[in-house]
Amino acid sequence: MPKEKNTNKKKGNTFLEKAKQIVTQIFSDNPGKAYTIKQIAKKAQIKKKEDLKLITHYIFDLEQQGSIREISDGKYAASRTLNTVTGVVDHVSSRFAYVRMGAEAQDIFIKAKDLGSAVDGDTVAISVYKTRHGEHPEGKVVEVIQRGRNKYVGRIEVSKNYAFVVPDYRKMHQDFFVYPENINSAKTNDKVIVEIVNWGGAEKSPEAKVVEILGKAGENEAEIHSIMAEFGLPFQFPEQVLNESKKIEEGITAEEIKKRWDFRKVTTFTIDPEDAKDFDDALSYRELPSGNIEVGVHIADVTHYVKENTALEEEAFERATSVYLVDRTIPMLPEKLSNELCSLRPNEDKLTFAAVFELDDQAKIIKEWFGRTIIHSDKRFSYEEAQTVLETGEGPHNKELKKLNQLAYALKKDRFKKGAVNFETTEVKFKLDANGKPLAVIPKVRKDAHKLIEEFMLLANKRVATYIYNMKKGEQKNTFVYRTHDNPDPQKVQDFALFAKQFGHTLAIEDKSISKSLNSLMEEIEGKPEQNVLQSLAVRAMAKAKYTTEAKGHFGLAFDHYSHFTSPIRRYPDMMAHRLLQHYIDGKASADKAVYEKKCIHSSEREKRAADAERASIKYKQVEFMAAAEKKDYDGIISGVTEWGIFVEIIETKCEGMIRLADLDDDYYEFDERNYCVRGKRNGKKFTLGDTVKVNVKKTDIDKRLIDLVFAEEQKQINRKPNTKTYKEEEDDLYFPDSLHSKKKKK
């Protein structure tokens, strides 16, 4: 009967589906193991011949799909596509790693023994276990799909029959084994670049060969070169690129001048760092009959010289940004362009791309114009020179500088009124001797001259982006390169607010008041011991800025639309902005969005690489400086806590080191992530972000760029004092406002 047939069919389908799941699970739970069909049938408890036939066909289908493969006669093992997921290894500790699955998925915990030959940065396929490690799923690497890199920098130790290279990269937790024929004349303590020839496995070190010797470990040139190699930064320009730059004609023709608005007779000057060689931007100043001021923001017209589909263009795109290490610049463009042709040097005619504004006394825009100009800079100010003129009211162009400073203040006031956030993090620079040895660490101080330039650059960037966005009405906008900054993650802001409360600071976390509240907090903490820690944590709570073709706003600046237009000598996105702006001024159709989005992603990645390399070079100099510093007690502030240790920033030198929890012998300390602290298990003593402490330098490691600290004897005495507060009282302090807490106590 039909009804009975359907029931049997349903039962058959149910069995097959269940059996398929069992087979899939067998391969997934045992990656790398091979089974015969008979063994699989036994594990799946399949006894009937017809059932075995169905499963055999299913196994053959899996083989055809590439999900499993026959590795020997009649034996099958899983391929990476069988019930696996793909992600990128983040090898955070020698004991374990996480596989990053992307923004929307949870990271997967991997024990070191389950990584196989996978290392940090590799794209891998993993099978996920039923078990979990805390909040994270747990898994095992089944296959390395793509290596993140195959060259590393490290210090070589040569023995009679072999050598080992100790990698500089902190997330590489194995040394590299080198056979004698692959040492390439390197000597012990040389910094070398090695190329991996065999990745080994969980029980075997990767095998490598020396491809370049950088110099002796500890020497400035070798260490900086090792940082450059570590981050894949270029050491020189390709010959073809240099040849192209040399062939560019330097003269400016009368025909070219006719195409531009001529500003050569208008007062114009640049303001840049004392040691700058490439001058991207200049300001022109002219008083109008109406009493308004015309301010021109003139930017080097790089795209006039760097044409598309050339070696120069390809190299600029590949680098995407200049990189500023402590003792050198790795430029995006060859010197002929960056320091000569495009640099807005004084007393020379220069081709520029400009945003020109007519402003009233309150810096309100009356008119604006965008297009190509030609200028002749009258004066090259350093920031210090311009600041002296502003403070004394005397010196060249004092009238113009004073008025521009007033307008800059008005622009800044308007920005903060509309919700911009004032983050003023402390940066440092080094005074170096002729050999690159650090003699002093100097905090960078930003004064009015810096902020004056910044406000007009922000204005130009904002108005260019807004102009392009408003060119077309409706939803179909012209493709453009925007610099966006998303609203902060509410949970991160809430966590930050709870932490700030421990210092007695209140932060309103409602969407509409967050900017205003953050600014109030920044003013409140200025000059206080917790300033750096709270500023750093506030920045971490914010989203990361990026380049994209999506016309989103910029939270930190409170701009609806923002771009990067003002630094094309050192940033490729600014070159894209220049090209697109001229493209639309010429009345041409919208550019291909997919092409530009791909370029935006590449530029954001290169920006991160540059920032990481710059931080590494600063850290190297800090370690070198502290290695030679006076052996004494230093006042510090706790700048970070992890399950491994307590990070402390030394107030005097701004250098950061770590006190390892393993070195704290008075108790067993545990990391309390929720409350940003580590806490003693028996004595209840805790060390929290922002606490002031006294420390000594225990050890410095230039190879790893690490400073090991220990508590000073004076601090140890404080640590030994018993903690009188219970854990519950500390929780109340943190989560109850003072007024509510006091009422609670009275009850």
pLDDT digits (tens, 9 = 90+) for 619-648: 999 999 999 888 899 999 888 888 889 999
Q: What is the pLDDT of residues 171-188, one digit of tens each?
A: 888 899 999 999 999 999
Q: Residue 564 pLDDT more than 90?
A: yes
Domains of the chain: 2-78 (1.10.10.10), 85-146 (2.40.50.140), 151-217 (2.40.50.700), 239-401 (no CATH), 629-739 (2.40.50.140)
Least confident of 44-48, 150-154, 711-715: 44-48
**Angle CA 360–364–366, to nearest 5:** 70
Q: Residue 5 pLDDT more than 50?
A: no
Q: Residue 190 pLDDT more than 90?
A: yes
Mean pLDDT score, 118-131: 86
Tokens of 699: 């050890």
What is the DSSP track for 581-630?
HHHHHTTPPPP-HHHHHHHHHHHHHHHHHHHHHHHHHHHHHHHHHHHHS-
Mean pLDDT score, 400-428: 89
Mean pLDDT score, 332-359: 96
Task: Return the pLDDT at 29.
Answer: 67
Task: Return the pLDDT at 710.
Answer: 93
Least confident of 38-52, 206-220, 581-595, 636-650: 38-52
Backbone angles phi, psi at 688, to 5 degrees: -120, 150
Pick the more confident residue, 503 or 652.
652
Torsion angle (degrees, nearest 10) of CA 136, 142, 146, 152: 80
Task: Return the pLDDT at 7.
Answer: 42
Note whether 244 and 232 are within 8 A (CB).
Answer: no
Task: Return the pLDDT at 208.
Answer: 95
Q: Residue 744 pLDDT more than 50?
A: no
CA distances from 520 to 416, 492, 505, 526 (A): 11, 18, 10, 10
Identify the CA nearest to 582 among candidates 301, 330, 335. Answer: 301
pLDDT category at 338 given cuts 50, 70, 90 is: very high
Mean pLDDT score, 458-475: 94
> What is the SS3 assignment for 546?
strand
Q: Residue 62 pLDDT more than 80?
A: no
CA distances from 154 to 118, 189, 319, 383 (A): 19, 9, 24, 39
Q: What is the pLDDT of residues 19-41, one digit of tens each?
A: 777 777 777 666 667 888 888 88
Distance CA 166, CA 182 (A): 15
Distance CA 480, CA 468 (A): 7
Torsion angle (degrees, nearest 10) of CA 531, 536, 539, 544: 160
Pick the more confident residue, 315 or 94.
315
Return the number of other C-beta atoms located less than 10 Å from residue 628's C-beta: 10
Note whether 624 and 438 are within 8 A (CB).
Answer: yes
Mean pLDDT score, 43-50: 77
Pick the more confident residue, 574 or 682.
574
pLDDT category at 267 given cuts 50, 70, 90 is: very high
Least confident of 286-290, 439-443, 487-491: 487-491
Task: Return the pLDDT at 526.
Answer: 79
Mean pLDDT score, 555-575: 95
Mean pLDDT score, 152-166: 93
Q: Residue 215 pLDDT more than 90?
A: yes
Q: Residue 591 pLDDT more than 80?
A: yes
Alpha-helix residue ranges (DSSP H) falling in 30-99:
37-43, 49-65
Is the pTM for the entire model greater than 0.85?
no
Q: Residue 738 pLDDT more than 50?
A: no
Q: Residue 82 pLDDT more than 60?
A: no
Q: What is the pLDDT of residues 231-254, one digit of tens each?
A: 999 999 999 999 999 999 888 999
pLDDT category at 743 given cuts 50, 70, 90 is: very low
> What is the SS3 assignment for 157?
strand
Least confident of 340-354, 453-467, 515-529, 604-618: 515-529
pLDDT averaged over the chain?
87
